[in-house]
Structure 1
């Protein structure tokens, strides 16, 4: 929990914006919630002392304002030209209103702003952008989304772009960005099939994303080549970071495999086997670049520079939080299986 009162206030209004948007019974109320959420996140992002933070907050502001203005314009136009209350009109209505929401959530091909913004943020803000900031747009999408050509195209593009985009990256932030785009494709699949599926997937994905970010922040790593040079004393921390990464990639023994397994079953039951094959293959590609990060640290021999004097011994609270989250990531699937079989 941040000890700065301004940050606490902004985080409260940020969550309030999401809740207003989700619980609203009109599109105008949903738009207001999105705006409250945006106005709370911009001050959290910007930092006078860091030029990259300011640049990222400006990029994010421009993109989100464009999406919000488009959403408001589309909703007003549709209520004027079609039925005011039901909005039943052409088959293109859901598609048109979905587009700004997809831009807000960073789904491909409207993902172009996402890597650039993530690269300039602190790790705490990266975690917020990958988790909390996706909740409201995706929840609003659930009112409109259907299994049709448009939705399947967006799911296909998100999973493919998220998988291939991360292959050539060296920055940990960009790798997590493309992973998030891939997971957005999975979440859109879950939304099209069932809202409960999406809520389960989103909850598990958020937990895993926060786990990975906590572990990476603790190790002080920003690029792949730095993973080899982390402190030898912090073996537990390395183990936490890489098991969490593998869980996020969906490796079977870990918690991250559980929601993917359930979604694959649901897709097969709904005659979407070809799309299920595509999302599974792209998920394997994301697992490959997680293994690429993990490989150097799984090696017995590693190098450590003499100037690597950063100690984590005084960060007891952060260590405990990361350890607790990674334990959930490691044992969550086994726990869920035991609970289901017991009852």
Structure 2
């Protein structure tokens, strides 16, 4: 006969639910109790059954993470901390990529998930609406949608961009360009608003001819920067919607024979690990995206297990990190 969690509970002198919590390293269980349960499980050769857990609790303990595509470098840096955070609460992370609003919501619902973390939401997306109507809990990560309120972890871009603008102006930059993210995303909109406000507060306008929008990817940053550098009176400083777009901007400058920073300065946003590499040394706007991912995991678990009445909106502050890609303005 197979060993059950009840056998482990009897040997450890605890309740059967305590066995389940202890074996998934629930922080509510004391370390002494966890040790007794693990020792008893090892002695009896007990292996927890995920299927059994799902049947007994009504939960699969699986959380979906919805992203746009797996090629985006930003996602690769948030998956590990999110996975680790969910694992400490006994949940598994399941990765999903987005196709269209018409199919993705039903696909998420059909996968037997306990909840979903939305990392790819557009402002007008109906996915949150459909998840809400089907009773599947979700949390916004980095982006939010307009139709449905929910728990969210977001970036507050103003402080970092204000410092970056101050530094750029102090270095003599007045012809300033921007390669910004999609206008149908909350991140694209909030970063653009913050940049325009910081410049306006200092008496500088962002010339419409020097602004481009595109996807948050390297190709978009490359193409947009190539256009800006080809203009008569090209910008001496370009703000990019994220680091990945800034990498494309650096490629475009190299291809055009415009040295960085002596010909054009470039500033990114996110401070991903490659930004600090000696070969790149990108000036950028930084925030703690690792803690932001972990907080999204905590909010997801809280939403599933506690169902609080109020939604939590957690903002992460930004700072400006100056590196090699920013220098004094020059006339070209």
TM, length-normalised to structure 1: 0.24
Larger RCO, structure (CA 8 Å, separation 6 or more): 2
Query: If each structure's helix is expressed as a fraction of its own residues, which one has the higher value?
Result: 1
Query: If each structure's strand is expressed as a fraction of its own residues, which one has the higher value?
Result: 2
Q: Which has more radius of gyration?
A: 2
